[in-house]
Amino acid sequence: MRVVCVAGARPNFMKVKPVLDGLEDRDVETCLVHTGQHYDRAMSGVFFDELGIRAPDHHLEVGSGSHAEQTGRIMTAFEPLLEKLEPDVVVVVGDVNSTMACAIVAAKAGPLVAHVEAGLRSRDWAMPEEINRVVTDRVSDVLLAPSPDAVDNLHAEGYRSDQIALVGNVMVDSLLTNLDRAKARPVLRQLGLDARGYGLVTLHRPANVDDTRTLAALVDAIDVVAADVPLVFPVHPRTRARLDELGHGAGLRLVDPLGYLDFLALEAQAAIVFTDSGGVQEETTVLGVPCLTLRDNTERPITITEGTNVLVGRDRDRIVAEARRVLRDGVPARRPASWDGRAGVRIADELIRRVAAGPPARPTDLAV
């Protein structure tokens, strides 16, 4: 049995490591392909180092570009490699362009296609990630769902029960494995912060950072909260330039992008987190840290119903009011039962079982 695991962007790396570990612990031959969608050390290399991911067996080095350019380069680079490797299974993770591009190539080439994080839905077609999720699920043979709501989404879309497995959340595996190491790092001391005495901000979605008016409104709201509690914002250089143009209060502290462990240390010990990231919604749920999501929707509603997440949109007054309420009252700390740190093990067992069972029926007759 040979399994090709694909990763391309920073959110993928935390997800692919538990899958590799689960397979390698069962002596399954694995091949790691890095598409190079995130290609510099700050966005890629440091995560490999800190998570203990081995060097990729193949690096496609596709780099940046428009969605069409990047997706096309990934597909044309991955196709001949797949023909050479002849795997039994191709595993894709998450919802970035690499996920969709490699899933399409693999579906046409013949191996089993397994999607980790299948079934997540925001129902917001303005999000490129939503298109990637839906397309990837549609061409996949094995839908590895992180939570019961994702399973429900897949059933509602007509996928067969024999295609779906509830395996849990691989990001939680990485978080629980690395949490003690992260907390031991000196990043709080270096930044002059006290545990629970600061907030953390992450913004990266184009809808929030590329539109000047939207970004200005969010910064205005965050500045109000920053007068109550200092806020640390690890920020991409492109977004930082926009923030410098807009101006912001002294309570909002901009820092360079952080590695996985330093970011996890800040996240775990924050009083509150503002984000538009799906992964941060999940991580704060596991950590029991209040999270305000600066979006109108989320593909991870379980972080609201069973977690610490509050969906606040982009309205200034609501953001400020919810932040002050959360800082005053806190939020219930709970997490889904399947987020137990063993998702990678369950995925490995599921893939081994599927290969042993022989070729599946292709998903050609969905009731969609």
Active site residues: 204
Q: How many CB atoms lie within 10 A of CB 321?
A: 13
- SS3 string, 93-125, reads ECCCHHHHHHHHHHHHHCCEEEEECCCCCCCCC
Q: Are 85 and 2 in contact (CB under 8 A)?
A: yes
Q: Are 215 and 204 in contact (CB under 8 A)?
A: no
Q: Is 57 exposed, middle or buried (0-12, 13-18, 19+ CB in 10 A)?
A: middle
Sheet holding 291-293, edge to edge: 252-255, 231-234, 199-202, 272-275, 291-293, 309-311
Q: Is 244 exposed, middle or buried (0-12, 13-18, 19+ CB in 10 A)?
A: exposed
The C-alpha torsion from 137 through 143 and 147 to 153, rounded to 10°, is 50
